[in-house]
A and B are shown apart, each in its own frame.
Chain A
């Protein structure tokens, strides 16, 4: 089994809006990866849909880039609705 690649597993639960990463596993091909993911990650009704992606195909941001990537959003409080004070008496907004 020397060459079985690593796969990342994403599951959407029945009430979930999006697929969520749950873990990884090894499998020879995509079909086996889905079968294994079903056995390992959905034994207790955790999901209604499975995605598997080869780990090698995922591009990720690096931990060192945290500041340049995410700091700019911190100062933009006006992007949140609660930033704006409503005058008394306004309803349904």
Chain B
């Protein structure tokens, strides 16, 4: 998802009976549905895992601004341009809510951003794919934001208070993102033959990466059990993926677009769609840093950070100067 394969640092999940003292009390609170707040005692591994998960989520939001930013100057109308600007601005805001939530765990935002820029922290695999045509902006809103909503709605109820509250704000805004994407796809799908081809081509390229966003299959996700016990992961990767597929296939049908999966079938017994094999080698390559745009994305982030350094320095110098003026009673 926006946070994929988050390492919990835990080898084996222990039952509540095996825990004692603070740790047992902590697990009992989580089991009883009581939210954990920043001042509360928490195991080190819980804190570290949350920092990884929330910061990865935050990094995904701000790196996610890049593929879409690519089309702001080339949006086909003023309304589309204003809408896309608003969406990209929202993503920046989501990053900020999430960095603020991570900071309540005792880390600094600067350190988290440094980790991203040094390539030590991950962000979602999905943002390492290029946006080649305008239809890609439609596909991202529809599929990528659609997948994000499915992942984020349960997280509103996660055990860590500041993370859950950040998710509530994010989810409120995300539904606009998905609808504007589907609206772009609708217009293209109902347009000329060339526009229809463009919409289909975007769906062809974004479908599988979107399906992979939910992370490795349950049989291979080593850290899920601990995250589930801590209630920072409320549904398994495969459960969420299935929900996404079942929700999205009928939406593609309505546009008369074809999902690029020859094995896609409605399974009457399961009341769900069966899908073909997912190419996990591609997913792992992208996570490893070998996706189509990994290097370009990180370079763009570092470049923006470096070129903004003088603004940050100037703001700090200005704040310091006005503080001194106030203290010494000088006026302008």
Instruction: Kindly state whether residue B225 has any CB partner on chain A within 8 Å.
Output: no
Contact among B89, B97, B322, B323 for A23, CB-based, below 8 A? B97
Can you list 25 contacts pairing A with B, beta carbon distance less than 8 Å?
A: A1-B312, A1-B315, A1-B316, A2-B110, A3-B316, A4-B316, A23-B97, A23-B100, A23-B169, A25-B100, A26-B109, A27-B315, A28-B315, A28-B318, A29-B315, A29-B318, A29-B322, A32-B319, A40-B93, A43-B86, A43-B90, A43-B93, A44-B173, A62-B39, A63-B40
B37 touches A63 (CB 8 A): yes
Q: How large is the interface on A (under 10, 10 to 19, 20 to 34, 35 or more residues)?
A: 10 to 19
CB distance from B114 to the nearest CB of A (A): 11
Closest to A9 in B: B100
**What's the Cα separation between A23 and B103 when bound, in Å?**
12
- Which B residues fall within an 8 A CB radius of A? 37, 39-40, 86, 89-90, 93, 96-97, 100, 103, 109-110, 166, 169, 173, 312, 315-316, 318-319, 322-323
**Residues on the A chain within 8 Å of B96, using CB:** 25, 40
State the CA gap A26–B93 with chains docked (Å).
Answer: 12
* A29 with B319: CB separation less than 8 A: yes
Q: How far is the CB of B305 from chain A (nearest CB, A)?
A: 10
Specify which of A1, A32, A43, A62 is in contact with B89 (CB 8 Å cutoff).
A43
Residue A13 is within 8 A (CB to CB) of chain B in the complex: no
Total of A-B residue pairs, C-beta within 8 Å: 46
Q: Bound complex: CA of A32 vs CA of B97, how far in Å? A: 17
What is the minimal beta-carbon distance from A49 to any residue of chain B, in angstroms? 19
Nearest CB of B to A5, in Å: 9
CA distance A40 to B100 in the complex (A): 12
How far does the Cβ of B255 sit from chain A's closest Cβ, in whole Å? 28
CB of A53 closer than 8 Å to a CB of B: no
Let me know if B319 and A28 touch, CB within 8 A.
yes
Extra contacts besides A1-B316, A23-B100, A43-B89 (8): CB < 8 Å: A2-B110, A23-B97, A24-B100, A25-B96, A28-B316, A29-B322, A32-B319, A40-B96
